Structure 1
């Protein structure tokens, strides 16, 4: 079993009565995690049902709850005793939440369920299972998890977390970090042996996302249009979202573009970074920026610049540390990221003393004293006052 940071928290929740709900994009490891959790259940009264199998969907789509209970009993689940029922990909059975609620309230069943979208789980579950569940989000691997999947000891990585550039540390991990930037953090991709296999896995993830999740979770039926939009966004990653311009290029309504963008965000495909302001009203009048959830997916879609790929990776890495915003004035003065509203961060492939001086001056505008450069490559002039990208997690 490969290490995921979420395992400890999920294991602790295994003893809680509340349903354990795991959501995230396809192929991030939700099913593997559920099966791992089942091995930790100390008794044998447990059952795993994958809703990608038609017979399991038929079982939960029956009109009678009594027939569903009979079916579970026929599969070996003893409802009159403490039980664990794991349901995988519940978004495939729209009425699954009502069945879970009935079984939850009637029997001593601990539910572990997965779904591929917060769009479905956060909204639908909030109404039907209020107070009966806790939602855990899973994402592609971060760099620490990536190294663990490669069989590396991450103890030294942890010691250098967010510390200034150290050549020895960089030399040890730079090859892995470049692979991480190139192919991203989907577990199957990380474990694939060849570059061709990695690319094929990423194309499969993209195809399944558009053809299965999007069509299932929305009324968007024109997958070709969505694919064109995603390709267009990939070429503009890290930019502010101009809905009108994108709409004119693709040839569809501006409001429809907004709907698509919201769906891409709610299904974990993109991360939206809002501008840093001192008031919510100002924030809502400015355009957000966006980044892709995985740099491997980004590069399958478009041959973007190496700087854009690196900035995208750092956006994802920072997003797992805290809240992320960006700052930009109409004059063009900008700061790449503001972390937790208190740390100004600039991302450069190669950092220089001038970059640090500029960042410090710009941060003063916001009365922020804590600043950091994040770099990808060494500065061979000897400048070391920056954090290497591989140490950000």
Structure 2
């Protein structure tokens, strides 16, 4: 069964235009499933799907005569007298393909739908050859609403920004949210039946990232150092990225560590967020904070604390809504998240009234009017907060 993704309606709409539709995201987030679903749903059935992990498909785009590529499409069953749709999966493996796509799109009006595992690679690959001819969509692991859809659990959006703790929804859905915190939102992981199977899939995703994505997308000589740095970063979820400290701990130069961290972000393993500020102030801390794209993956690399698991999960929930930053002073006072410049959010596993007072005080310092505590569990007496599982 194919479960709907929130990105699909916009993706489907764009797939019916003449522009190149680009879907990017980390390995195993469901890109292949989505483009195969597009080919099944689009009215135009004159289409072909090419997996560029196959050498014979990659070789097709190494040809200098682009008209020969079109002839190959026809030989493989696509009709020459009707509009053509060509889907290319993992196109970063065929670095010569963008110029061919441009030519075939311009001269033969072929519609291309392509996927890849690196936003940086695809944006730069397309920057000149397909400038103005494409739209890039990013696919992430399931958010909690999509997780519930895959679990076939009924749910509906709630206004988590105001009101009291929702006891009914918490009692109904908290066991699902705890599973989501622990194992994350990769579709195969969510659908796996046992914890052992979930852990095996997560390990395999990380192994594929190291052995396939790193080798195909980067010119790094030592994959072991990259993996060691990924493990080190996983243990620092929710903390500021201190490059000098990381360099000392792992035994690599600061520029090398910086390049590795940037590569991790461009290939969707991690996200970093900046400081919220309305003016340059000497009290504001400039370092970026680090989160992983999926808490289950971070748990595979490091034994995350309960609080770190929750904060990382909440970050990913909020990041699907709008821009996320954080606020911090050198004194140590901090707001976990500032959403869209106007909403201060503090993550607490079991919120207390004192936490709300603290948040309001620091938010006033930051110049943010709206505040909200978001909790993981039910607080015995305090109810003026949102349960994190209601952010769907």
Give the TM-score taking structure 2 as reference length.
0.96
Q: In angstroms, what is the RMSD of aligned CA positions? A: 1.6
Aligned to 1:108: 109
How many Å separate the matches in 2 of 1:109 and 1:81?
Answer: 10
Q: Provide the secondary structure at the position in 1 that maps to 2:127.
A: helix
How many Å separate the matches in 1 of 2:282 and 2:267?
Answer: 26
Aligned to 2:270: 270
Q: Provide the secondary structure at the position in 1 that maps to 2:371.
A: strand
Aligned to 2:315: 315
Aligned to 1:336: 336
**8 Å contact kept, 2:51–2:88:** yes
Aligned to 1:184: 184
How many Å separate the matches in 1 of 2:58 and 2:4?
Answer: 31
Aligned to 1:389: 388
1:98-150 Cα offsets, whole Å, 9 max, x none, are 11001000112111110011021112212211111000000000000000000
Aligned to 1:259: 259
Q: How far apart are residue 61 of structure 1 and its match? A: 1.6
How many Å separate the matches in 1 of 2:104 and 2:281?
Answer: 44
How many Å separate the matches in 2 of 1:377 and 1:349?
Answer: 6
Q: How far apart are residue 85 of structure 1 and its match? A: 0.7
**8 Å contact kept, 2:284–2:330:** no
Aligned to 1:88: 89
Q: How far apart are residue 292 of structure 1 and its match? A: 0.3
Aligned to 1:21: 22
How many Å separate the matches in 1 of 2:214 and 2:282?
Answer: 32
**8 Å contact kept, 1:270–1:291:** yes
Q: How far apart are residue 247 of structure 1 and its match? A: 0.3
How many Å separate the matches in 2 of 1:166 and 1:124?
Answer: 47
The correspondence of residues 66-81 of structure 1 with structure 2, limited to 5 A, is 66-81=67-82
How many Å separate the matches in 1 of 2:247 and 2:102?
Answer: 42
- Residues 1:283 and 1:254: Cα distance change in structure 2 (over 3 Å): farther
The correspondence of residues 193-204 of structure 1 with structure 2, limited to 5 A, is 193-204=193-204
1:271-319 Cα offsets, whole Å, 9 max, x none, are 1011112247979971101000000001011111100000001111111
How many Å separate the matches in 2 of 1:282 and 1:365?
Answer: 14
**8 Å contact kept, 1:274–1:283:** no
- Residues 1:226 and 1:362: Cα distance change in structure 2 (over 3 Å): same
Aligned to 1:126: 127
Q: How far apart are residue 55 of structure 1 and its match? A: 1.4
**8 Å contact kept, 2:192–2:198:** yes
- Indicate yes or no: 2:365 matched with 1:365: yes
Aligned to 2:236: 236
How many Å separate the matches in 1 of 2:280 and 2:149?
Answer: 40
How many Å separate the matches in 2 of 1:284 and 1:92?
Answer: 42
Q: Provide the secondary structure at the position in 1 that maps to 2:376.
A: strand
Q: How far apart are residue 221 of structure 1 and its match? A: 2.6
Displacement over 3 Å in runs of 4+:
159-164, 279-285
How many Å separate the matches in 2 of 1:9 and 1:282?
Answer: 43
Q: Provide the secondary structure at the position in 2 that maps to 1:127.
A: coil
How many Å separate the matches in 1 of 2:382 and 2:327?
Answer: 26
Q: Which runs of 5+ in 2 are unaligned?
A: none
How many Å separate the matches in 1 of 2:67 and 2:109?
Answer: 16
How many Å separate the matches in 1 of 2:284 and 2:383?
Answer: 38
Q: Provide the secondary structure at the position in 1 that maps to 2:338.
A: strand
Give the TM-score taking structure 1 as reference length.
0.96
**8 Å contact kept, 2:158–2:390:** no
How many Å separate the matches in 2 of 1:282 and 1:269?
Answer: 32
1:334-364 Cα offsets, whole Å, 9 max, x none, are 1111111111111110000000001101111
Q: Which runs of 5+ in 1 are unaligned?
A: none
How many Å separate the matches in 2 of 1:176 and 1:221?
Answer: 41
How many Å separate the matches in 1 of 2:281 and 2:57?
Answer: 48
- Residues 1:284 and 1:135: Cα distance change in structure 2 (over 3 Å): farther
Aligned to 1:169: 169
- Indicate yes or no: 2:39 matched with 1:38: yes
